[in-house]
Structure 1
Amino acid sequence: MRAVVQRVLQAGVELDGMAVASIGRGMLALVGFHHDDTDADYEYIAGKILGLRIFDDGSGVMNHSLSEAGGGLLLVSQFTLYGDARKGRRP
């Protein structure tokens, strides 16, 4: 399992021009799943994402996790995180 995480002021997903999900301040995580992933992998990455201390604590130090800071979490499946583009130009 792979994840790319970013703090956001707002984020959303649209499908055919229609909003299907959106959040305000919080975290966007692009997550790639692999056929070898186990339940333990899912629990590990969920705990890691929720526990990352990437939010300001009020004194300019990134010292709060999403759980502490509050805010939304938008998870987006992104199969290209496991793409292999060594041959050609398509993952």
Structure 2
Amino acid sequence: MLMVAARIATSTIYIWQRSLPNVIVSGNTASIARQFLRCTMYNLAPNGLFTQLFQTPISDPVLFRGIISVLVNFEDHMSLFYPLISA
């Protein structure tokens, strides 16, 4: 499910989206997929599953490219995605 959402989130339907990839267009499948990835990563972060996702051997680079691209503009909540430091 995440791989499919990442592929849709990184796709561009219109030519102008390549220069403005973070513009949210209502009803656009790429915008909906980006929001789905944001919400999913936000919910996975408190349990440490977000960091485990990056430790998983996934051969598809589109997944990580999609996740990183949606989180770049999600800086308000980036502190949730930092790895836990055990003391």
Q: With structure 2 as the length reference, what TM-score do the two structures score?
A: 0.27
Q: Which has the higher helix share?
A: 2
TM-score normalized by structure 1?
A: 0.26
Between Structure 1 and Structure 2, the one with more strand by share is 1
- Structure ranking higher on relative contact order (CA contacts 8 Å, 6+ apart): 2
